[in-house]
Structure 1
Amino acid sequence: MTALQRDLAKLIRQDIQSMHAYAIQPSAGLIKLDAMENPHRLSPELQAQLGRRLGTLALNRYPAGQVDDLRAALAKYAGMPDGFDIMLGNGSDELISLVAMACDVPGASILAPLPGFVMYAMSAQLQGLKFTGVDLTPDFGLDEPAMLAAIAEQRPSIIYIAYPNNPTANLWDDAVIDRIIAAAPGLVVIDEAYQPFSSRSYIDRLARHSHVLLMRTMSKFGLAGVRIGYMMGPKALIAQFDKVRPPYNISVLNCEAALFALEHAGVFAAQAGELRKERSRIQAALAALPGVKAWPSDANMILARFPDAQRTFDGLKAHGVLVKNVSRMHPLLANCLRLTVGTEGENTQLLSALKASL
């Protein structure tokens, strides 16, 4: 390291220097089943329609009323309760960061079950907040006594409840969630990133509470490349978080693509239905493989434990299939791989590669 580099390094927080950037696996030439993306593209006809719409946009102007149109369309699509408001983010990741930023007062902290979405803990670290993780049970259920004890001891400002959870893909007991919400001294954020594939949603119970926010993303809807997240909550609460949102954080291109998708919501609903059907097929096939345990899923991914996760991961990759090795993320995930549900053809190749790898 040169003297200049040493001087510049003093400007960067030590905890940042010791962190690792979010890793994205190289996927060129592979069947990409590692990131919970919708594998279906728009039809050529819809691609042409969208292209024409995007081509007419005034790219020389900042986003304006179009963003409000998207907020209204998402609120209607989600069935947002009266008296609530909606805020947009550049993906859910930005919303998670903004919530931490707005709640950064002395003594503030964040609490979430583990294993869970890495951005909950990362947002706390980046904002200088304390993070408390509470381990799930061995079968990835919420450990209610441990959660309630941690809430009583830590008095967290924010509790994250993923519904369903990533990477375990399961929904937790609603009665336990209700008791956690009742015990929360601060905010509870219900993260429904995988709502298109889930058998339940919290949206019908959202109006019961003044301290609960519901977060969703259009990534799993089928627009991972568009980067639209949205968060709903009581108007007065959303107004406070909106103060820390960067101006013009949603581009006109992303906004128009999202509006177009919502106008064709039936197409994406059909895709989600196909993926749920394929999910069942994969789970049935996994159940027939010796030495493999797969957990129930309400998302577009399946968590499965193998005799040797790294060997299976390498074998799949050698057969042209890329999945996510989560076995080192948390002790409860030992020898686990996370498999994204792909197209019928991709899933057939996944299952063939699994048999060969095992």
Structure 2
Amino acid sequence: MSEIEHLLREDLRGQTAYGAPQLDVPVQLNTNENAYPIPEDVAAVVAEFIGRELRGLNRYPDRDALALRGDLAAYLGHGLTADNVWAANGSNEILQQLLQAFGGPGRAVLGFMPSYSMHPLLARGTGTAFVDAGREADYTLTPGHVRWAIEAHDPDLVFLVSPNNPTGTALDAAVVEAAYEAARGIVVIDEAYAEFARDRASTALGLLEGRKRLVVTRTMSKAFAFAGARVGYLAADPELVEKLLLVRLPYHLSSITQAAARGALACATRLQSEVDELKHQRDRIVKNLRAKGLPVADSDANFVLVGGLRDAAAVWRAVLDEGVLIRDVGLPGRLRITAGNEEETASLLAAFDTVLERRPELFDSASEQRSASEQQQEQNQ
């Protein structure tokens, strides 16, 4: 053990930092980014908002980001106001602040893996114990399972993800309600991909009223194509929002970030057209991979989870050799694929055609693939 390793917190020793492979390949479909760059007309609006702030950069930003929070509340609707909203540098910082305020040493957060891989890492970073209650064999969650897990573990926080990453599945409102009724602590619904849901009304925002311990987190990284700007936010009861000010860093959200986000929000309707196109490409991937005999669950996110792989790591490498980068999320027999633009989708499907033809031993037999695919489609009817 090195001198520095010896001085590190014991629970961090031997750990590796989070990160997806960043490789220079023609088609990158591995980190769930929005495939479309900011349109020129939107970029002009964002630049105008930023320009208004440039000469005032000698002053600290609005510490509480009130104007941005008001714009976010207007975007979300559901009768929310700025007092219901909090913003930070990406939804990861939002989740970290929730853990700092309501978790910490001697406290626990309950999650349901496989789900967003940052949840246990954020818990560890804040000294909060992470408890994994697992999922059903098909990766779904039922109200009964969630209620049982909360009653069995009595966590201080509960993390639920809808649509879930990496499965792409959305939660039924009954699951959220069961979690809230069973929990004594904070219930967080991570809705990073909510704008891509087939039913936009499936959001938990409509459940916030009267539920003071319920939190809905969002991000501008996906639907707003704003991953590089790092803007995340939450909606909750005003008292809960107020408590987060106890742990936020002073002036944590820069004037430039706030201005850029407000410019993008002013163009929200324009940006939704790109969301609709990504949903189309997502469904195109699902349809085509199923036609090849591969089981793919219906997705409410901007990615899909494909199965039927005897050797997921080898398929990942073979697809990469065709110039397409997708994500190995560590689930046996499965890989995650981000929905790209029309050309990227064509390249992805062509890559799978090539690998299926050249390396059939990497996949389940054709009959097994068709059987699984047909069963999935029957369940969805």
Tell whether the structures are fold-level matches, with TM greater than 0.5.
yes
Cα distance in 2, alignment partners of residues 105 and 53 from structure 1: 38
User: How many residues are matched?
Assistant: 348
Contact 2:107 2:129 in 1 (8 A): yes
Tell me by how many angstroms 1:149 deviates. 2.5
Contact 1:164–1:298 (8 Å) recurs in 2 = yes
Range with greater deviation from structure 2 (91-100 or 246-255): 246-255
Tell whether 2:280 aligns with 1:281.
Answer: no
Map of 1:293 onto structure 2? 295
Q: Which residue of 2 aligns with 1:26?
A: 22
Aligned to 2:62: 64
1:276 is aligned with what amino acid?
K
How does 1:1-358 map onto structure 2 within 5 Å? Answer: 6=3, 8-56=4-52, 57=54, 58-64=56-62, 67-82=65-80, 85-104=84-103, 107-198=106-197, 199=199, 200-221=202-223, 222-290=225-293, 292-307=294-309, 308-326=311-329, 328=330, 333-358=331-356
Secondary structure class of the residue paired with 1:275: helix
d(CA) in 2 for partners of 1:216, 1:192:
5
Q: Bigger shift: 168-177 or 154-163? A: 168-177
Instruction: Give the deviation of 1:147 after TM superposition.
Output: 2.8
Poorly superposed stretches of 4+, deviation over 4 Å: none
User: SS at the partner of 1:207?
Assistant: coil
**Structure 1 CA distance for aligned equivalents of residues 63 and 130 of structure 2:** 38
1:235 shift after superposition: 0.8
> How far apart, in 2, do the equivalents of 1:12 and 1:148 lie?
37
Change (3 A) 1:82 1:196: closer
How far 1:144 sits from its partner (Å)? 4.0
- TM-score norm. by structure 1 comes to 0.92
CA, structure 1 residues 278+104, in 2 after alignment: closer, same or farther (shift >3 Å)? closer
**Distance between the aligned counterparts of 1:176 and 1:45, measured in 2?**
41
Q: CA deviation at 1:132?
A: 0.9
Which secondary structure does the structure 2 equivalent of 1:220 belong to? coil
Once the two structures are overlaid, the 10-residue window that deviates more, 30-39 or 144-153, is 144-153
2:362 matched residue in structure 1: none
1:294 CA drift (Å)? 0.5
Give the conservation status (yes or no) of the 8 Å contact 2:104–2:126.
no
Q: In structure 1, what residue type is equivalent to 2:107?
A: A
Q: Indicate the SS of the match to 2:155.
A: coil
Shift of 1:80: 4.7
CA contact (8 A) 1:32 1:323 kept: yes
Rounded Cα–Cα distance in structure 2 between residues aligned with 1:50 and 1:147? 42
Identical residues among aligned pairs (%): 32
Unaligned runs of 5+ in 2: 357-381
Alpha-carbon shift at residue 118 of structure 1 (Å): 1.6
Label 1:214 to 1:46 Cα distance change in 2 as closer, same or farther (>3 A). closer
Q: TM-score, normalised by structure 2?
A: 0.86
Pair 343,105 (structure 1): closer, same or farther in 2 beyond 3 Å:
closer
Distance in 2, Cα, partners of 1:47 & 1:105: 40
Letter of the 2:164 counterpart: N
- Deviation digits for residues 41-88 of structure 1 (CA, Å, limit 9, x no counterpart): 123344344335434423322212892111100011001535752111
> What is the rounded CA distance, in whole Å, between the counterparts of 2:354 and 2:110 in structure 1?
41
- Letter of the 2:175 counterpart: V
Amino acid in structure 1 at the alignment position of 2:35: P
- Separation of aligned partners in 1, 2:100 and 2:332: 33
Q: Which runs of 5+ in 1 are unaligned?
A: none
**Hey, which of these two has a bigger chunk of strand by percent?**
1
CA-to-partner distance for each residue in 1:288-308, whole Å, 9 max, x for gaps? 113x11011000000111322
What is the root-mean-square deviation of aligned Cα atoms in Å?
A: 1.9
* Cα deviation code 1:161-213 (max 9, x no counterpart): 11111111101232232112111111101111001101221111211311101
